Amino acid sequence: MKTVLFVPGYQEDLNSRDYDATIKAIESKGYKIKFVPITWKRTTIDNWLEELETEYSKHDPKNTILAGFSFGAMTAFVAASRKNPSELWLCSLSSYFNEDNASPSQKKSWLTNLGHRRVSAFDALNFKELSSKIHCKTLLFYGQRELDKWPVMNERAIGAQKLLKNNLYLPVPDVGHDVADEKYILKIRQSI
């Protein structure tokens, strides 16, 4: 049985949205799932990676799937570039890599709200370089409404499709940035 290590979205924990429904959908397909809590306050993606990698070190990479939502997807993505999991599931991968932050589509107010330290840590992440190190099967889930609403996220989705060698792009119609939306959950259940 494979284990899915699931990292939540920014500033979220198990109770922030109906993560239980997402977890149950994954479990219903025969996977064991471990929700990886992250300390978000006064930390950067470097700290989030440490927390995920501490949990990941307890598991056999051949039987481990890294998964995450939003900033959790960024964290899982970077961890996958360092150690090759059996699969990678990215749900609404956030668009804060170096290339995204330099894009005219990136909202400067978002960067300001995140703070200088977090943005500096994101700026050190080159998506193209990191994606070249990922060789496992990768599922790219996105809500179509989030792609329509935020051009920089759509650019990231297109870039991920082009650069990740073994990916399956899975847009979810009529859904925004919400991995717990029942349509999003149905797409996950049908695709894993």
Quick one: pLDDT band at residue 129, thresholds 50, 70, 90?
Answer: very high
Give every CB contact of residue 25 below 8 A, 6+ residues apart in sequence.
185, 186, 188, 189
Instruction: Provide the pLDDT for residue 109.
Output: 94
Q: Is the pTM of this model over 0.75?
A: yes
pLDDT, one tens digit per residue, over 131-176 is 999 999 999 999 999 999 999 999 999 999 999 999 999 999 999 9
Instruction: Provide the pLDDT for residue 8.
Output: 98
Instruction: Provide the pLDDT for residue 138.
Output: 98
Quick one: pLDDT band at residue 75, thresholds 50, 70, 90?
Answer: very high
The Cβ of residue 181 has, within 10 Å, a number of other Cβ atoms equal to 20
Are 165 and 134 within 8 A, CB to CB?
Answer: yes
pLDDT, one tens digit per residue, over 103-125 is 999 999 999 999 999 999 999 99
- How many domains does the chain contain in total? 1
Q: How far is CA 93 from CA 21, 45, 63, 70, 101, in A?
A: 20, 14, 23, 5, 14
Quick one: pLDDT band at residue 98, thresholds 50, 70, 90?
Answer: very high
Instruction: Provide the pLDDT for residue 42.
Output: 96
* Mean per-residue pLDDT, 68-88: 97
Range of the domain at 89: 3-191
Instruction: Provide the pLDDT for residue 85.
Output: 97
Average pLDDT, the chain: 97
CATH at residue 185: 3.40.50.1820
Quick one: pLDDT band at residue 76, thresholds 50, 70, 90?
Answer: very high
* Mean per-residue pLDDT, 89-96: 98
Instruction: Provide the pLDDT for residue 73.
Output: 98
